[in-house]
Structure 1
Amino acid sequence: MSTVVAALRLARRNAWRSRGRSALIMVMIGLPVLVITAMLTYFATMTVSPREGLVAELGAADARLQQAPAGTVLHQEPGGGNWSTNGDGAPGPRRSAAEVAALLGPGTRVIPFNSGRLQLGTERVDALETDLRDPLTKGMLALREGRFPAAGEVAVTPAFGLGPGDLLRPSGGAPLTVVGVVEHPHRPTLRQVAGPDLPLTPPAEFWSPFDEGSGWLADTAKPVSWTEVPALTRAGLYVTSPGTIADTELALARSSSMDVQHTVGLGAMVIMLVLETVLLAGPAFAVGLRRRRRELAEIAAQGGSAGHLRTIVLADGLVLGGAATFMATVLGVGAGALGAPLVAQLGGQAGPPEVPWPPVLGIAALGLLTGIVAALVPAVQAARQDTVTVLAGRAPTMADRPGWPLAGAVLVLAGLGATAVARRQPGTVWVWSSALLIMIGLVVLTPWLVRFTGRVATRLRLPLRVSVRDAVRHRSRTASAVAAVMAVTATVVAMGIGTYSEFMDRRNAYTSARPAGMLAIWGGPMSDATWNRLRAEAVRRLPGVPLAAGYHAKDAQGRRYALRYTVRWNGTRTRRTAAIGDQALLTLLQGRHDPQAAAALAGGKAVVFDATAVRNGRLALRAGSTSGPPRKLEVPAVVATPADEHQGGALLPRSLIEQAGFSAAERQLYAMHRLPAGSTLESDLGKVTSRVTVASEEGYRHLPDHGLWGWLVGALVLVVGGTLAATRLAAADMRPERATMLAIGAPSGTLRMVVAGQALYISGLGALVGLVAGTVTGVALSRPMTTHGAGDPATIAVPWPFLIAVVVGLPVLATLAALITRTGLPLARRLP
């Protein structure tokens, strides 16, 4: 029998004999593998690739051709495309089905389709206008009940809760009979109506080939490839086909090759994951070594070499790591594949079950490697143990490596220098890579830190003095646990400072063109008669609420223009749309009557609340339209104080707009009024016209990211779990001392304090060192996370409650958990 086979058999028997310890090691190794594998599978399944989504778009057709609006300039190429609706292209007539078939060559058959919105009362739902009975539409929607609709009939998705025989009553159209229930291939919660003739709402003002629009499904004699695309796009047709999708995916794959930052970030993440898992699982492997020292010594006494002992201990890591990785991979794949459809039922989309095998197998190999690396230090210790000392029942002593503190200090200094440089680089990957150097250096320094801090033991009371001295005596065991707590704490502290700084920067950067508490009612393109009805309904629904009017700018051809300017707010370029109104609206925007601002507005000047936007008494504006040529304007302006400190914007008088060649049409209403909870104002106004928007300015109401406290929960599991594992090992090593204390009458509380002292020392030292390392990294992270260009100062904010919970709360919890450790022991025989 070979040495490796014998070692694996011994490892298997030892793992089964110590099932509790084996389960602990497998959980620590397998949990990261399970979580990452589940997330990879989940996202791969939830992501519907262009090829997977072809059936929902094309059905059984060879191509989908979407007609762009007149005047749209199209350009398609592998890897993407672009389109513009600025009117630069020559408008042309809409293509007929015969013209489209002629463009695709002989033998082509086309059927029309139209995707858009259907108005059902106050709700607008997705709608597909096409004949689902045609073979070309097979697969676009799956029939679940009834039949596909004919003229005057519709099919609905299950989200409506309707069945065959029910009636659907669209706004502005005759009732439609539901004859079937259909389901989208990838979106089970989609609310969609399908039928051959639907009263769709007018299309959106901004056209996109990925939203609503009309076109044709084509059955061609040969596949549609990129050679036919230029002629089709010149005809105003956006093309989707299997041939174009394949070339697009190939182009995207080539353009998404890993760059330097991505490679460095991935490498740093892998090293961090291995380091943390090894540090957490290391004490558990040390427990196994402690229990097997006599067995290994007997093997050595019978002729086993140091290599044999190393192989036996490494086999533990191979067996446990392999079993943990296999189980975690299977469970992760199953959880990800089964979880995606369940989440899609709550909203979203899901494709067919998909496992990204290259990264999944890479994570599995990483988990197996982690198990072997975690057993490496105990394996080296086993090979160096003195056989006579172990067989005599005395604990072996481990000498420190004299060069390790110097190497650790060099790594820490190098990491600090790299961090100082990395904080000025774009992105956070370089900061995390530099932090990894600091963390590795601190891991190397940890045995020295344990020995150095052990000097305080002489000033402590007996239980704590015994705990600290024992921890110093077994530095290899203690250092691993302290380093694990340090790594977790440093990571969580860095993330806390960086995330909170980003939150504070966003809060400081928050800005609005309206004060908090203002209600805005905006009307889209509509006739004056429709607006008058809408305004009357708003007055009726808001009795006693003063309403101030706002206006849209239109040119002589009736094209709507928006007047915008750009300003820097907290280092970020912000684009604002200037409002058009009179004294009533100015009073609302300022929250008071300002005589100087009112006089300027009456005199035909713009009142601006962004001081930096006004230069030499002028405000530069850009007038933009979706259907007309852009214009640049410079208008006289004065700076005024708004109602809120985070408020910006500008108000233009109608006289100023008319001087620039525009006319003003009332299409907005403003009021200082907060709608009650459950208000139906928007739905009530929507009964007049669907082109209305109701918005309430609530101010900055976002809370810090809940993920911050999620990090705290993760740290709680890792810190308390790792500390208790090390404490259990310490309790096993301290059996003689605890038995002696019990024999001389020490109360159980003293014995518990000895065990809890180990937990307090390990978690406290790790948390303090992690606080220092994490603060350095967090401050460095704050710069790339909160700066938005040259000259923008970084925002550094410290979440004190969060840090106290991490640095103080976690050690306290670990200590309290250790206090419940069983301390009753039988008397042990002490050897001289």
Structure 2
Amino acid sequence: MSAVPVALRIARRTAWRARGRSALIMVMIGLPVLAITAVLTLNATMNVSPREGLVAEFGAADARLMRVPDGTVLRQRPNGTSWSTGGDGATAPGRSAAEVGALLGPGTRLIPFDTGVLQLGGERVEALRTDLRDPLTKGMWTLSEGRLPAAAREAVVTSAFGLRPGDQLRPSGAAPLTVVGVVEHPFRPSLRQVVGPDLPLASVEEFWSPGEHGTGWLADTAAPVSWTGVSALNGAGLYVTSRAMMTDPRSWARAPASDVQNTVGVGTMVIMVVLETVLLAGPAFAVGLRRRRRELAEIAAQGGSAAQLRTIVLADGLVLGGAAAFVATVLGIGAGTLGAPIVARWGGTSGPPEVPWPPVLAVAALGLLAGIVAALVPAVQAARQNSAAVLAGRAPAVADRPGWPLVGAALVLAGLAATVVARRQPGSAWVLASAVLVLLGLVVLTPWLVRATGRPAARLRLPLRLSVRDAVRHRSRTASAVAAVMAVTAAVVALGIGAYSEYMDQRNAYTSARPTGMLAIWAGNIGDPAWSRLRAEAARQLPGVPLAAGYQARDAQGHRYALRYTVRWNGIRTRRTAAIGDQSLLTLLQGRHDPRAAAALASGKAVVFDAAALRDGKLALRASSTSGPARRLDVPAVLATPADEHQGGALLPRALVEQAGFATAERQLYAMYRPSAGSTLGRDLAKVTPRVTVASEEGYRNVPEPGLWGWLGGALVLVVGGTLTATRLAAADMRPEQATMVAIGAPPRMMRVLVAGQALYIAGLGALVGLLAGTVTGLALTRPMTTHGAGDPATIAIPWPFLLAVVVGLPVLASAAALLTRTRPPLVRRLL
């Protein structure tokens, strides 16, 4: 009989006899496979392809067309869409439905399909204006309750609103809408949208991009709308998406250009997963080897060759790795499929269940490979063991290879040099790839580190001295566990420093033109009588609250202008709108009375809170309007200190704006006031005029970074699990020493201290080395993760409590868990 089937049968029987150890190995190998498979399946299911989303996009129509803003130059091609809104091209006239139908050819039928927002008090929600009873919209929505709207002022809402038929919606400045039904989007369960044939859509004054809000139609055409006719429709000021375009192979079968960074990132992840799995599962395989040494020695004594012994041990990795990969793959696919609809309810899309088989099978093969590689070192040891010494009960001798420390040091130095170079590259993939070199070098150096740190053991008390000496004596087992803890700690520390630095960089990037606690009330393009009523209502709603006035700038034709400037804040280009006001508004913006700033404002100078915006005592402004020509202004300005640390902005006196040729009109109110959570101020003011906006500056919400502590939880499982696996092996190998201690009267708690000392040594050494490696990588990660262009310095922030919990807390927790390990006085046979 061939040796392989026999080895597999022995491995299966051994795995069943040692079910606890087998389960531990399968968990160590299967957890990464399960997590990656679940993420891959989740992403594939939540990623709705254009072909899958055809019905939700078009219903039964052949095409959807949308008007582009005046002055937009649009060009659609199979390999992408380009557009510009600078007004350099010819302005396309607004097309009517009849003209659009003529462009599409005879036999075309159009229905309105307008997308925008609905202003519901202080909330803006997505809205769609179309007739859902038309056959062209079939399949876009699923009616779950009530009926479809059939008359004006009727609408349906998505289930995310929590409304029922018969409820009412109250758009600002318009008659109420009656909810007659509840609908579901095929792929977006979290979507909040109102649909009806006669919705009062609010104007959206935002930068247009293809597929965003606008007026449009669904078209039923006699002939497919293909790419050949798109250029003419673009020239007519229409953005087009059609069924024929989406199903054209040129639109979806384009092979993306090779992304070197993505390839490096994926390769780095694969190496790290295999390395960590091997290091974690390796001690568990070593447990099996220690317990089977006598069995393997007997096989060798009966004529078994070294190759057959290796095959038997490798069969353990094949059986357990294959079983772990299979179970983890099935569970990962199930978790990803079932989790997609749940995650989509928090935001996103969820399509039909989809399993990306090539990457999933590759991950499963990776788990199988990790099991075999984890059993490789024990297999080599099994083939080299001295059968006579094992049968006599003597421990095998450990021989070091003097050249390995030099190889490890070379890898570490090469990794450090690569890290210095990678720090200057865009993206973090190169830094992580360089860190792999450092980790591989430290893994090779770990046996030498174990031996070197064991030399001071003579100064320790007896239990700890025995623990450290045993760890040094069994360096092959100890080094694997130390390297596993080191790799986990290094990865968590590096990602923790990088993520916390990015978090602090985003925190520092927070900026506002108003101090925290300021309430702003803005009116749109309304007349003086409406503003007077709005101002009186605001004063009535806010009794006793001082109100400071702000002003709008208008040209001679009545076009409203915004005076803006651009400044770099924390390395990011930020565009601000300068306020127009007097001394009362300046006092609110500064939080105090500043005589110097007040005198400058009174003399007709701008007061600026962004130092980088000033050039030779001037502030460069761009006056822009949606309906008038843009202008550039250079105004005299002085620098002042704002009320808040993260506050910027500028205040212009009315006289300065009027000297520039603009008229000013009071249309803004400011106050230091925080509305309560259930405040109806926005809805009450909207009753006066729908063109009102109420905003309250809440300041920066300093929420701790949740990802750090999630990684700490993952590190807890891996570090404690790997350490306890190694200490279990240590307890088995230390039976002679334990027998000696029992013989001289050592109490049972001394045995537990012996095991806990082993756990503290393994976890402590791995955590310290991992801290050094992770800190180097984390500091290197801060540059690509926190810089925003040339000359922008990196933000470096160290999460000290997090590092303390990782480097000190995890080893202490591992040793505390080892103290709970059950120890019994061993019975050891001794040779006389």
Normalised by the size of structure 1, how large is the TM-score?
A: 0.95
Distance 1:45 1:218 in 2: 30
Residue 516 of structure 1 corresponds to 516
Alignment of 1:259-278 (within 5 A): 259-278=259-278
- Alpha-carbon offset, residue 310 of structure 1: 1.1
Do the aligned partners of residues 208 and 783 (structure 1) sit closer, same or farther apart at CA in structure 2, a change above 3 Å counting? Answer: closer
C-alpha offsets along residues 414-449 of structure 1, whole Å, 9 cap, x if unaligned? 111222222222222222111111111010000011
Residue 768 of structure 1 corresponds to 768
Contact 2:3 2:308 in 1 (8 A): yes
Do the aligned partners of residues 170 and 634 (structure 1) sit closer, same or farther apart at CA in structure 2, a change above 3 Å counting? Answer: closer
Residue range with higher mean Cα deviation, 555-564 or 446-455 = 555-564
Q: Secondary structure of the equivalent of 1:148?
A: coil
Distance 1:348 1:539 in 2: 42
Distance 2:424 2:124 in 1: 48
Q: Secondary structure of the equivalent of 2:113?
A: strand
- Alpha-carbon offset, residue 227 of structure 1: 0.8
Distance 2:806 2:771 in 1: 9
Contact 1:405 1:445 in 2 (8 A): yes
Aligned AA for 1:398?
V
Q: Secondary structure of the equivalent of 1:213?
A: coil
Distance 1:175 1:619 in 2: 46
Residue 632 of structure 1 corresponds to 632
Q: Secondary structure of the equivalent of 1:441?
A: helix
1:196 aligns with 2:197: yes
Contact 1:79 1:252 in 2 (8 A): no
- Alpha-carbon offset, residue 180 of structure 1: 4.0
- Alpha-carbon offset, residue 159 of structure 1: 3.8
Residue 737 of structure 2 corresponds to 737
Residue 653 of structure 1 corresponds to 653
- Alpha-carbon offset, residue 372 of structure 1: 0.9
Q: Secondary structure of the equivalent of 1:556?
A: coil
Q: Secondary structure of the equivalent of 2:64?
A: strand
Q: Secondary structure of the equivalent of 2:665?
A: strand
Aligned AA for 1:183?
E
Aligned AA for 1:620?
A
C-alpha offsets along residues 73-101 of structure 1, whole Å, 9 cap, x if unaligned? 33222243244455555555542333222
Residue 393 of structure 2 corresponds to 393
Distance 2:84 2:496 in 1: 43
- Alpha-carbon offset, residue 151 of structure 1: 2.9
- Alpha-carbon offset, residue 163 of structure 1: 5.2
Distance 1:528 1:247 in 2: 55
Do the aligned partners of residues 123 and 455 (structure 1) sit closer, same or farther apart at CA in structure 2, a change above 3 Å counting? Answer: closer
Distance 1:594 1:493 in 2: 46
1:113 aligns with 2:113: yes
Contact 2:122 2:694 in 1 (8 A): no
CA RMSD of aligned residues (A): 2.3
Distance 1:369 1:465 in 2: 38
Normalised by the size of structure 2, how large is the TM-score?
A: 0.95
- Alpha-carbon offset, residue 187 of structure 1: 2.0
C-alpha offsets along residues 557-588 of structure 1, whole Å, 9 cap, x if unaligned? 33322222222334333322211111111111
Contact 1:294 1:390 in 2 (8 A): yes
Residue 539 of structure 1 corresponds to 539
Distance 1:407 1:63 in 2: 64
Residue range with higher mean Cα deviation, 796-805 or 320-329 = 796-805
- Alpha-carbon offset, residue 51 of structure 1: 2.7
Residue 561 of structure 1 corresponds to 561
Residue 326 of structure 1 corresponds to 326
1:211 aligns with 2:212: yes
1:590 aligns with 2:584: no
Distance 1:175 1:648 in 2: 40
Q: Secondary structure of the equivalent of 2:225?
A: coil
- Alpha-carbon offset, residue 60 of structure 1: 0.8
1:242 aligns with 2:231: no
Distance 1:398 1:666 in 2: 87
Q: Secondary structure of the equivalent of 2:300?
A: helix
Residue 49 of structure 2 corresponds to 49
Residue range with higher mean Cα deviation, 294-303 or 196-205 = 196-205
1:576 aligns with 2:585: no
Residue range with higher mean Cα deviation, 14-23 or 290-299 = 290-299
Do the aligned partners of residues 127 and 260 (structure 1) sit closer, same or farther apart at CA in structure 2, a change above 3 Å counting? Answer: closer
Contact 2:172 2:686 in 1 (8 A): no
Alignment of 1:213-228 (within 5 A): 213-228=214-229
- Alpha-carbon offset, residue 111 of structure 1: 2.2
- Alpha-carbon offset, residue 453 of structure 1: 0.8
Q: Secondary structure of the equivalent of 1:227?
A: helix
Distance 1:173 1:417 in 2: 66
Do the aligned partners of residues 533 and 56 (structure 1) sit closer, same or farther apart at CA in structure 2, a change above 3 Å counting? Answer: farther
Residue 816 of structure 2 corresponds to 816
C-alpha offsets along residues 53-73 of structure 1, whole Å, 9 cap, x if unaligned? 221121011111112344443
- Alpha-carbon offset, residue 338 of structure 1: 0.8
Residue 297 of structure 2 corresponds to 297
Distance 1:645 1:93 in 2: 48
- Alpha-carbon offset, residue 218 of structure 1: 1.4
Alignment of 1:459-538 (within 5 A): 459-538=459-538
Aligned AA for 1:433?
A
Distance 1:76 1:680 in 2: 45
Residue 234 of structure 2 corresponds to 233
Distance 1:78 1:527 in 2: 48
Residue 352 of structure 2 corresponds to 352
Q: Secondary structure of the equivalent of 2:828?
A: coil
- Alpha-carbon offset, residue 717 of structure 1: 0.9
Contact 1:85 1:627 in 2 (8 A): no
- Alpha-carbon offset, residue 380 of structure 1: 0.8
Residue range with higher mean Cα deviation, 296-305 or 48-57 = 48-57
Residue range with higher mean Cα deviation, 301-310 or 339-348 = 339-348
Distance 2:249 2:81 in 1: 10
Percentage of identical aligned residues: 78
Q: Secondary structure of the equivalent of 1:574?
A: strand
1:802 aligns with 2:805: no
Q: Secondary structure of the equivalent of 2:313?
A: helix
Residue 306 of structure 2 corresponds to 306
Distance 1:374 1:13 in 2: 19
Do the aligned partners of residues 51 and 655 (structure 1) sit closer, same or farther apart at CA in structure 2, a change above 3 Å counting? Answer: farther
Q: What is the total number of aligned residue pairs between the two structures?
A: 831
Alignment of 1:679-690 (within 5 A): 679-690=679-690
C-alpha offsets along residues 163-205 of structure 1, whole Å, 9 cap, x if unaligned? 5566666666666665544321112243433333344444556
Aligned AA for 2:187?
H
- Alpha-carbon offset, residue 642 of structure 1: 2.2
Distance 1:188 1:309 in 2: 57
Residue range with higher mean Cα deviation, 441-450 or 583-592 = 583-592
Contact 1:606 1:650 in 2 (8 A): yes
- Provide structure 2 residue ranges, at least 5 long, that are not aligned to the other structure: none
- Alpha-carbon offset, residue 29 of structure 1: 0.7
- Alpha-carbon offset, residue 30 of structure 1: 0.6
C-alpha offsets along residues 200-247 of structure 1, whole Å, 9 cap, x if unaligned? 444556544433322221122222111111111111211111232345
Contact 1:115 1:127 in 2 (8 A): yes
Alignment of 1:694-773 (within 5 A): 694-773=694-773
Aligned AA for 1:730?
A
Aligned AA for 2:52?
E
Contact 2:493 2:771 in 1 (8 A): yes
Distance 2:439 2:132 in 1: 62
Distance 1:549 1:252 in 2: 57
- Alpha-carbon offset, residue 640 of structure 1: 2.1
Do the aligned partners of residues 635 and 162 (structure 1) sit closer, same or farther apart at CA in structure 2, a change above 3 Å counting? Answer: closer
Distance 2:307 2:812 in 1: 42
Q: Secondary structure of the equivalent of 2:378?
A: helix
Distance 1:792 1:69 in 2: 36
Do the aligned partners of residues 234 and 506 (structure 1) sit closer, same or farther apart at CA in structure 2, a change above 3 Å counting? Answer: same
Do the aligned partners of residues 144 and 102 (structure 1) sit closer, same or farther apart at CA in structure 2, a change above 3 Å counting? Answer: same
C-alpha offsets along residues 126-178 of structure 1, whole Å, 9 cap, x if unaligned? 33332323222111112334543323454443345555566666666666665
Residue range with higher mean Cα deviation, 813-822 or 648-657 = 648-657
